[in-house]
Amino acid sequence: MSAQVQDAAALPEESPKAQAGRRPGLRASIVVLLITMLGVGVRVTRLGTEGAPSVSEMLMVLAALLLLCHALLYPKRSIIRIDSSLKFFGAFLLWASVSYFWAFHPEVVASEVIAVGLKGVTYALIIACTITRKHVDHWGHLFVLMSLGFALSAIQEGAGGGQYSFLLAAREAGGWTWINQFGKWTCFLLPFNIHYIAFANSRLMKFLAGLGLVGNLVTVYLISRRAPLLVIALELIIFAVLFRRYRKTFVGFAILMMLALPLLVVGNREFAERIAMTAVEISARTQGEDITFGSVRFMQYQAGLAAVKVHYLVGLGIGSLRFWTHEVYGFRMVFWPHNLTLQLLGELGIPGALLYAGFVLTALSRGWRTWKYLMRRNEFREASLVTAMICGVIGLVVYGQFQPILTEMHLYLALSVLSVAAVIYRTPAPEPTTDDEAATSE
């Protein structure tokens, strides 16, 4: 039996006695699944992010404690899973912890490790409690509903138009603006709407996915961010390339979306100005001109490159790059690194970057092999859902080159659903029994 099948959460055929013996594990996984999905779903409201810890984080911790208690009470029925990606992540977290001893700002190491570790808990929870193909579909359905929730939030906060409207809404709510969170979530959620428009089993789900796709476009229009345009175009290309048998359908989606995105830009003056300013600055910098309107993002990249050139072996210590750019490079403010690659290399050096790359690439490799397996078996609906997951992961990695993402949920959520779907879809499903159906419905 392959290592992937050994990691599988799908249950093999068992005798009725064995099924009765493992039922507590199945019940526990369903409880953990519901709490975990609630913890993810609550992110569409400000309850999901405001506060320390947030409501979302408290729900994740509750789910983790329940999982741990079950493992202690029923050690032979433990549903805790440790896959290859999680091993890479554990090694990465250990290296990040050790960076305390050479960190530029050792005071922030503990808080950063805890922040990243909590997102790793999200990954572990999802691969533990997602055990059937139906559960994988439930995640997809949740992502469609989250598209609608985020679109409504974006409309509520950005109805006044432009970035100022979001800043004002954040000030009134007493927290940070969500303008960049909307962009990240949209890039992750959009591929799932495309999948369900094409392959949903019910008209209601197709309708909701269509609304979700419209909501994604409205969100992109309102937030006036440039990165989503690049990421969404890339995701559409991946869908069209991977689905050769349904290329006409997905090429049609791609054409419609590519036509819609320029219209969004043309219809939004702030959007058009930001893109035009970016083009002017890139041209000026490549020609060596002395400019006075420099973008903060370009300065962040310059500072990040300067840190990498000096500290590429072991890094400045997790969380320290933003303080180094402030105290050494001369920024007036403490900026979060806005490039995942530069942040990993600058804070944890080559070893940390390689470990994190192993975490991401292992999940992507597993998803790619599963996609090929499903296509050979003509399971196009499942292959399309895996494609949406692959698009979500790649899209977020690309987005992470423009916005902070290391300590946020998005990428860990995308990697976890891809990893667990890859294992479940490559494991022969057992014949359902009355006991199984009764236990699953509980």
Name, in order, each residue with C-beta under 8 angstroms of 179's C-beta and a sequence gap of 6 or more.
Answer: 158, 163, 166, 167, 223, 225
Residue 49 pLDDT > 60: no
* Low-confidence winner among 67-76, 229-238, 255-264, 299-308 (lowest mean pLDDT): 255-264
Average pLDDT (380-386) is: 92
What does the H/E/C string look like for 156-223? HHHCCCHHHHHHHHHHHHCCCCCHHHHHHHHHHHHHHHHHHHHHCCCHHHHHHHHHHHHHHHHHHHHH
Residue 435 pLDDT > 50: no
* pLDDT for position 413: 95
pTM score, whole prediction: 0.84
* Low-confidence winner among 68-72, 163-167, 287-291 (lowest mean pLDDT): 287-291
Q: What is the pLDDT of residues 159-206, one digit of tens each?
A: 656 666 666 665 665 556 677 788 899 999 999 999 999 889 899 999
Residue 432 pLDDT > 50: no
* pLDDT for position 135: 93
Average pLDDT (69-82) is: 76
Cα distance from N-terminal residue to C-terminal residue, the chain:
31
Structure confidence at residue 271 as a pLDDT band (50, 70, 90): low
* pLDDT for position 144: 96
